[in-house]
């Protein structure tokens, strides 16, 4: 494809999942931003169920569906994982929202490989990067990025997919799944010792399917760029991805109280521009970016604005 084109995917049902602080207002501010920027938003379809089963355990998917659909209106159920103190809010809208969130990524790769676009941003919730094979945790139900990666492998003849997770928390879901499924490279930069505690250390990097790059409380774009230039981009050059998926969390922003990393909104443009450069080098510019965290509404909105402008560039 000659010119860069960016498609945005979302769905009103992604607002129907109720949880805190991963709340519907996060998506509402982004939908307002797209309108302000004059960007159209395509409806995210339900994910093909076989693409969800291609990643998650079928019994787990059914259990989440039942838990959600058995809720009365205005009632909350609690998904309790087998990990202590880890709970995820579920309500009647949660399953539909999660299926749309995963479906956005699947549709994005379908459109990219049909050469209708070469970049995509999925403005969806619930987020996905903490979800493991049969485990909801950290506000995440289905691993949207990994479902997208496997969908591309299954339907579009893609072999090597890199998932680059710049959310301030460790992408434990992709790390676990990369050890089970072939040819997906799980890269995560995150603040050391945040959620999930004890995960995302460099000890996992012995396996060439995983690259964890822990950052420190107080780090700014300078340290983040050093980490990307010295560790992540060289690894990406070696892997030669045919598709890049960004697990795009914006909670490393200085105004987001959830972390101590000090990124400015514009720093997301700097970082994204380098990811675009890597995609241009390796995979004809193909990038699917899917929303993960980011809890300060104003910081989220401005960071996504810069992310999108760089994806268009």
* 8 Å CB contact between 113 and 156: yes
In the list 219, 251, 267, 302, the residue contacting Zn ion (rule: CB under 5 A) is 251
- Six token digits for residue 205: 């990097």
**218 or 313: CB nearest Zn ion:** 218
- Residue whose pair of structure tokens reads 């749309």 in the numeric block: 100
Q: Segment contacting Zn ion (CB under 5 A): 77-85, 117-125, 152-160, 243-251?
A: 243-251
From 17, 130, 253, 306, active-site residue = 130
* 8 Å CB contact between 67 and 75: no
* 8 Å CB contact between 173 and 161: no
**48 or 249: CB nearest Zn ion:** 249
**91 or 188: CB nearest Zn ion:** 188
* Complete DSSP assignment for 191-206: ETT-SSTT-S-GGGGG
164-203 binders of Zn ion (CB under 5 A): 167, 169
Shortest Å, Cβ 156 to Zn ion: 29
130 in active site: yes
**291 or 311: CB nearest Zn ion:** 291
Shortest Å, Cβ 304 to Zn ion: 14
**167 or 267: CB nearest Zn ion:** 167
Mark residues 21-60: x for contact with Zn ion by CB under 5 A, - for none.
----------------------------------------
CA dihedral 29, 44, 177, 232 (to 10 degrees): -60
Mark residues 286-305: x for contact with Zn ion by CB under 5 A, - for none.
-------x------------
Q: Is 249 in the site for Zn ion (CB under 5 A)?
A: yes
Shortest Å, Cβ 17 to Zn ion: 17
65-94 binders of Zn ion (CB under 5 A): none
Q: How far apart, in Å, are the Cα atoms of 28 and each of 43, 85, 125?
A: 15, 29, 11
Closest CA to 170 of 206, 142, 138: 138
Query: For residues 309 and 313, what is the distance between their CA atoms, to the nearest angstrom?
Result: 6
Helix, strand, coil in percent for the chain, rounding step 5? 40, 20, 40
Q: How far apart, in Å, are the Cα atoms of 211 and each of 104, 132, 225, 227?
A: 26, 17, 16, 11
Query: For residues 301 and 313, what is the distance between their CA atoms, to the nearest angstrom?
Result: 19
**132 or 251: CB nearest Zn ion:** 251
Closest residue to Zn ion: CB criterion: 293
Shortest Å, Cβ 216 to Zn ion: 16
How many residues line the site for Zn ion (CB under 5 A)? Answer: 5
Q: Catalytic residues, which ones?
A: 130
Name the residues that contact Zn ion, by CB under 5 A.
Answer: 167, 169, 249, 251, 293
């Amino acid at each position: 494809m000659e010119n860069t084109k960016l498609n945005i995917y979302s769905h009103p049902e992604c607002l129907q999942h109720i949880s805190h602080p991963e709340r519907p207002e996060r998506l509402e501010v982004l939908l307002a931003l797209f309108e302000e920027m004059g960007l159209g938003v395509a409806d995210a379809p339900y994910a093909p169920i076989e693409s969800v089963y291609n990643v998650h355990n079928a019994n787990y998917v059914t259990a989440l569906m039942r838990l959600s659909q058995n809720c009365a209106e205005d009632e909350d159920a609690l998904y309790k994982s087998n990990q202590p103190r880890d709970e995820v809010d579920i309500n009647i809208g949660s399953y539909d929202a999660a299926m749309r969130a995963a479906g956005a990524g699947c549709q994005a790769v379908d459109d990219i490989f049909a050469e209708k676009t070469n970049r995509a941003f999925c403005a969806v919730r619930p987020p996905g990067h903490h979800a493991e094979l049969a485990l909801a945790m950290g506000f995440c139900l289905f691993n949207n990025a990994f479902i997208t990666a496997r969908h591309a492998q299954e339907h579009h003849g893609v072999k090597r997919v890199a998932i680059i997770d710049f959310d301030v928390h460790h992408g434990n879901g992709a790390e676990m799944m990369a050890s089970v499924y072939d040819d997906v490279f799980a890269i995560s930069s995150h603040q050391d010792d945040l959620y999930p505690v004890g995960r995302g250390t460099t000890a996992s990097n012995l396996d060439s399917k995983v690259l964890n790059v822990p950052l420190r409380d107080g780090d700014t774009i300078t340290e983040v760029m050093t980490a990307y230039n010295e560790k992540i981009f060289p690894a990406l050059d070696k892997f030669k991805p045919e598709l890049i998926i960004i697990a795009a969390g914006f909670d490393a922003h200085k105004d987001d109280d959830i972390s101590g990393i000090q990124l400015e909104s514009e720093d997301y443009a700097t970082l994204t521009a380098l990811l675009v450069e890597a995609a241009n080098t390796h995979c004809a510019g193909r990038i699917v970016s899917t929303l993960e965290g980011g809890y300060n509404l104003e910081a989220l909105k401005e960071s996504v604005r810069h992310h999108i402008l760089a994806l268009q560039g």
